[in-house]
């Protein structure tokens, strides 16, 4: 029984090959002679039930029983026949593609960048069948000037025409061959037609060009390639601008910079990492102080009153606010300004004690060699007439209406040796000479010293030696 089954199977295999052998021979002969064959004859089955295109080199191999030195088709082309679409149809010497079901041939559109079958060599129109060349030399209607050796793509300016895309491989269009001659202007020129090539192909709809723009990282966008505008790369470095990384399971940001503290950090930063160890202060406008240990969480010291000063609380306690003694606000600078009365049992100064007019221990000098009228800052000073000025001068104590000197303001006048005669006068107020009742201007002759003291709002008393007359 087993022997009979083997004989039957062998007979069936032999019968099958005897039936298909003439068909294979006829197909191969047609391909090598450049005659038209069916579209299905240009594909071969591969494992899995799919099919793949037969290249020019493979055609030569099949025609010669496996040798790669088959018949040269010369200036001819390999063609096949497809029925023309009844509406738009095809045009001679232009690209055609498939449309509809069952498929018919139609001229390519200016928006097409791939999926052309080949160039129509005969039978163009809206009736009958178009003979389409898919391999070899063919005359194509170009949309402009051509240069021998340049790549050929589908025209984007005129439907179905060929386009010389230049000597560089295009980034966004399928290449269908090479220009064989250089020509000026549009016209029908010879090209070498080859199997269309694109940068790479996927198993989807054939839209294999990268999405987005240059350097963008690619992703699957509904079965097509898409570019991520916020993720770019030069092949070595990945730059992320906009994409949100989400929440990774783990990660170490060793060389990361620009981390925003307001939105990029959660939790409380401990003291050991430069933080305070607390999320919020316990009181508004308070002060932050170190914790009870060097690494403990910081403590908050409440704000003090405007009349309090901060005093140390000791080695194991926070500073405390203490009410300042005396009147006025506490001193807040290295050179405080005191208002009101400063009371103390004694004041010890290690430097110079000065007021707005100078050193309080000195009688500051104001040297004058011309007519002069006193000013408020002359109180507590001496106005000096030097030896070098031998000209007689008049110095005037200004009125209280002009210069409201305080009561007790004392101004000393000094006339030095050989200096000119000095007259001390007063404007509208009264100046009395000490030791009598006379008033008015006084004259200082030679070396002479006199002091005028304001004793009332408009009254001064002047005193000096016999040199004052």
Token pair in block for residue 119? 């160039």
Q: Model confidence at 165, in pLDDT bands (50, 70, 90)? A: very high
CA distances from 260 to 56, 198, 247, 264, 266 (A): 61, 45, 16, 5, 11
Q: What's the whole-model pTM score?
A: 0.38
CATH code of the domain in which 420 resides:
2.60.120
**Is there a domain that residue 11 lies in?**
no
pLDDT over 60 (residue 184): yes
Residues 65 and 112 reside in one and the same domain: no
- DSSP character string of 415-449: E-TTPPPEEEEESSSEEEETTSS-BS-EEE-SSEE
pLDDT tens sequence across 224-253:
788 888 888 988 888 887 667 777 788 777
pLDDT over 80 (residue 345): no
Residues 156 and 210 reside in one and the same domain: no
The rounded radius of gyration (Å) of the Cα atoms in the chain is: 56
* Mean predicted lDDT score pLDDT of the chain: 79
- Average pLDDT score over residue span 91-103: 96
pLDDT value for 41: 41
C-alpha 416, offset from chain centre: 76
Residues 390 and 403 reside in one and the same domain: yes
6, 40, 73: which is the final residue of a domain? Answer: 73
Residues 189 and 208 reside in one and the same domain: no
**Is there a domain that residue 310 lies in?**
no
pLDDT value for 199: 44
Count of other CB atoms within 10 angstroms of residue 383: 20
Residues 132 and 167 reside in one and the same domain: yes
Residues 123 and 216 reside in one and the same domain: no
Number of independent structural domains in the chain: 4
Contact 146, 161 (CB under 8 A): no
**Least confident range of 143-157, 291-305, 446-460:** 291-305
pLDDT over 60 (residue 9): no
pLDDT over 80 (residue 388): yes
pLDDT value for 255: 77
**Is there a domain that residue 278 lies in?**
no
Residues 219 and 153 reside in one and the same domain: no
- Average pLDDT score over residue span 52-70: 48
Report d(CA 88, CA 106) in Å as an integer: 6
pLDDT value for 157: 97
pLDDT over 90 (residue 163): yes
The verdict on whether omega for the bond into residue 55 sits within 30 degrees of 0, i.e. cis, is no
**Is there a domain that residue 410 lies in?**
yes
Tell me which of 151 and 350 has the higher pLDDT.
151
pLDDT value for 30: 43
Q: Model confidence at 45, in pLDDT bands (50, 70, 90)? A: very low
Residues 102 and 30 reside in one and the same domain: no
**Is there a domain that residue 411 lies in?**
yes
Residues 111 and 179 reside in one and the same domain: yes
40, 73, 106: which is the final residue of a domain? Answer: 73
Residues 27 and 57 reside in one and the same domain: yes
Range of the domain at 399: 358-464
Residues 190 and 150 reside in one and the same domain: yes
- Average pLDDT score over residue span 277-295: 76
* Percent of the chain's residues with pLDDT above 90: 44
- Average pLDDT score over residue span 392-418: 95
pLDDT tens sequence across 111-137:
999 899 999 999 999 999 999 999 999
pLDDT value for 419: 94
- Average pLDDT score over residue span 253-262: 73
**Is there a domain that residue 321 lies in?**
no
Residues 122 and 191 reside in one and the same domain: yes
**Is there a domain that residue 180 lies in?**
yes
**Is there a domain that residue 34 lies in?**
yes
């Amino acid at each position: 029984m087993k022997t009979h089954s083997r004989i039957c199977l062998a007979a069936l295999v032999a019968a099958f090959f005897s039936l298909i052998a003439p068909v294979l021979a006829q197909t191969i002969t047609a391909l090598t002679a450049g005659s038209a064959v069916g579209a299905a004859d240009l594909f071969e089955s591969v494992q899995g039930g799919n099919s793949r295109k037969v290249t020019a080199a493979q055609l030569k191999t099949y025609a010669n029983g496996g040798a790669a030195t088959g018949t040269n088709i010369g200036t001819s082309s390999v063609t096949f026949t497809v029925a023309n679409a009844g509406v738009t149809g095809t045009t001679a010497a232009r690209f055609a593609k498939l449309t509809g079901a069952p498929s018919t041939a139609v001229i390519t559109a200016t928006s097409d960048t791939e999926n052309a079958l080949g160039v129509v060599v005969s039978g163009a129109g809206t009736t009958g069948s178009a003979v389409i060349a898919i391999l070899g030399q063919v005359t194509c209607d170009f949309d402009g000037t051509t240069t021998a050796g340049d790549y050929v793509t589908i025209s984007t300016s005129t439907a179905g025409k060929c386009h010389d895309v230049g000597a560089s491989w295009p980034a966004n269009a399928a290449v269908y061959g090479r220009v064989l001659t250089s020509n000026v202007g549009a016209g029908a020129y010879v090209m070498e037609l080859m199997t269309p090539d694109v940068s790479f192909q996927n198993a989807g709809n054939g839209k294999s060009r990268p999405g987005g723009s240059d350097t963008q990282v690619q992703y699957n966008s509904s079965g097509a390639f898409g570019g991520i505008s916020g993720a770019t790369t030069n092949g070595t470095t990945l730059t992320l601008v906009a994409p949100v990384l989400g929440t990774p399971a783990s990660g170490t940001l060793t060389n990361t910079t620009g981390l925003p503290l307001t939105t990029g950090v959660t939790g409380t930063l401990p003291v050991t990492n430069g933080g305070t160890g607390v999320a919020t202060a316990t009181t508004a406008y308070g002060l932050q102080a170190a914790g009870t240990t060097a690494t403990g969480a910081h403590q908050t010291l409440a704000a003090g009153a405007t009349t309090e000063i901060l005093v140390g609380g000791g080695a194991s306690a926070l500073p405390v606010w203490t009410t300042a003694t005396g009147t006025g606000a506490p001193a807040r600078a290295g050179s405080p300004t005191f208002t009101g009365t400063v009371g103390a049992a004694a004041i010890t100064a290690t430097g110079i004690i000065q007021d707005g007019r100078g050193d309080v221990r000195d009688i500051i000098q104001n040297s004058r060699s011309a007519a002069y009228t006193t000013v408020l800052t002359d109180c507590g000073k001496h106005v000096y007439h030097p030896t070098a000025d031998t000209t007689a001068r008049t110095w005037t104590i200004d009125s209280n209406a002009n210069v409201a000197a305080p009561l007790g303001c004392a101004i000393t006048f000094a006339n030095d040796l050989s200096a000119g005669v000095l007259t001390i006068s007063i404007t509208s107020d009264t100046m009395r000479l000490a030791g009598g009742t006379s008033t008015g201007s006084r004259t200082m002759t030679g070396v002479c010293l006199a002091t005028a003291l304001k004793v009332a709002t408009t009254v001064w008393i002047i005193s000096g030696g016999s040199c004052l007359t």
